[in-house]
Amino acid sequence: MDTNLKTRMSPPLGLLTLINLTPPEHEVILCNENIERIDYKTEVDLVGVTVTLDVFPRACDIAEKFRKRGIPVVAGGIHITCCPEDCQPYFDAICVGAAERVWAKIIGDAANRSLKPVYRDMDGFRGEEIVSPKYDAIKGKKYLYTNVVTVSRGCPHRCDFCYNSAANRFYVWRPVAEVIKDIKALNTKHIFFVDDNFIGNPAYTRELLLAIKDMNLKWNAAVTAKILLHLDLLDLMAQTGCQSLFIGFESVNAAALKGVGKDNYAETYERLVRELHSRGIMINASMVFGLDEDGEDVFDNTLNWLISNKIETVTSHILTPYPGTALYNRMKAADRITDQNLAYYNTAHVVYRPQKLSEKDLYAGYLRVYREFYSFKNIIRRRPESRNQRMPYFLFNFLYRKFGFLSSALCRVIPMGMLGRIAEKLSYKA
């Protein structure tokens, strides 16, 4: 599933934010290894690396190469924040938490050769302090789309398998005026809100939607199943141009949901789907396999539910115990972790001992759900009732998922950004 359509989907907002945080007397070179090679011979004074879990081994390799040249390396990002003690030995300094109030200090200390091992900023960070990414530094032709905006950081929920159950996590939201400024800076009518939870604060979401109501946007976001408790908000989403929502259903097995602190209610899922579809909103369902109450029937049960409810797209995951989370701590204590190679902690490998499934059956079932869900027959069966939705639906299901490897090959001839613009025009303007 991981063609470079995924790795080149959108620019790294974290690194673009660091550029805006850098004092103007310094020169910044941005390198995203997903789209370009690192030049290890570049003459630089300081290297910064942003780190998610499965790329941590690669980040350590990058750091080692620069440190051998005597160049200090500082690391930040979600994995650093959630597991600082494990990460610190591999870098000259780490940033735990938000960078807004400490990045200039890190640069100053590096210039004075007084870099500290740990910079931590967790207490009292406010949404008003979030700095916008430097959008004009984006290499637009390199990405499938560049119209990405964040309205918040974190999530108020603490599901056991999610990074938000780890220490050092917080939830804040930005002033609406700042979000509107970012939308206007992108100069587009199609926006991807890339927050963990777009409805983490429903009152704030309502204020934001009212502010964009007359902007004639088409937008997508990620929410929890709790959107069913706010049908007035769902109405407003439809009125303001919401095209699809990524929703963490996680499982159709009610017992499995309770085992990971997820307060979803599987018996309400079909009603939620009806409410979304009746408003012309498509669904990208997030499903997790390998929860402790999952048996061999979980794959067929999930497939049948997804297809019978005409779920437009699915993003499936193998349960993965991210270090620092409540799930990881519990599994480690029970000696259930079977693979310590963090490169495999990407929700596409089995790195623990399941309770009611073999590791082999879990992996095979995960692949089978993807294969059958995106079979030609089931893509046709799931097509939306609304003709307006069919073009984006078929483009995603066929060109991104089922034949993504062909689309990826096409991007060797056509720039990724051009492909994204063609897909956008076909989806929303044709």
Question: Is residue 165 pLDDT above 70, yes or no?
Answer: yes
Confidence of residue 411 (pLDDT cuts 50, 70, 90): confident
Distance CA 331, CA 372 (A): 31
| Confidence (pLDDT) at 167 | 80
Question: Is residue 2 pLDDT above 70, yes or no?
Answer: no
Question: Is residue 92 pLDDT above 80, yes or no?
Answer: yes
| Confidence (pLDDT) at 122 | 80
- Segment 368-396, tens digit of pLDDT: 999 999 999 999 999 998 888 999 999 99
Rg (CA), the chain: 22
Q: What is the mean pLDDT of residues 222-239?
A: 96
Distance CA 117, CA 414 (A): 44
| Confidence (pLDDT) at 1 | 59
- Segment 291-334, tens digit of pLDDT: 999 999 999 999 999 999 999 999 999 999 999 999 999 999 99
| Confidence (pLDDT) at 427 | 86
Q: What is the mean pLDDT of residues 158-183?
A: 91
What are the residue boundaries of the structural domains of the chain, listed by start? 4-121, 147-373
Residue 66 region, left (φ>0) first, then alpha (ψ -120 to 50), else beta? alpha
Q: What is the mean pLDDT of residues 229-236?
A: 96
Q: Which CATH superfamily is domain 4-121 in?
A: Cobalamin-binding domain (3.40.50.280)
Do the beta carbons of residue 105 and residue 115 sit within 8 Å? no
Strands (E), 224-270: 242-250
| Confidence (pLDDT) at 252 | 94
Q: Tell me which architecture the domain covering 147-373 has in CATH.
A: Alpha-Beta Barrel (3.20)
Q: What is the mean pLDDT of residues 337-343?
A: 96
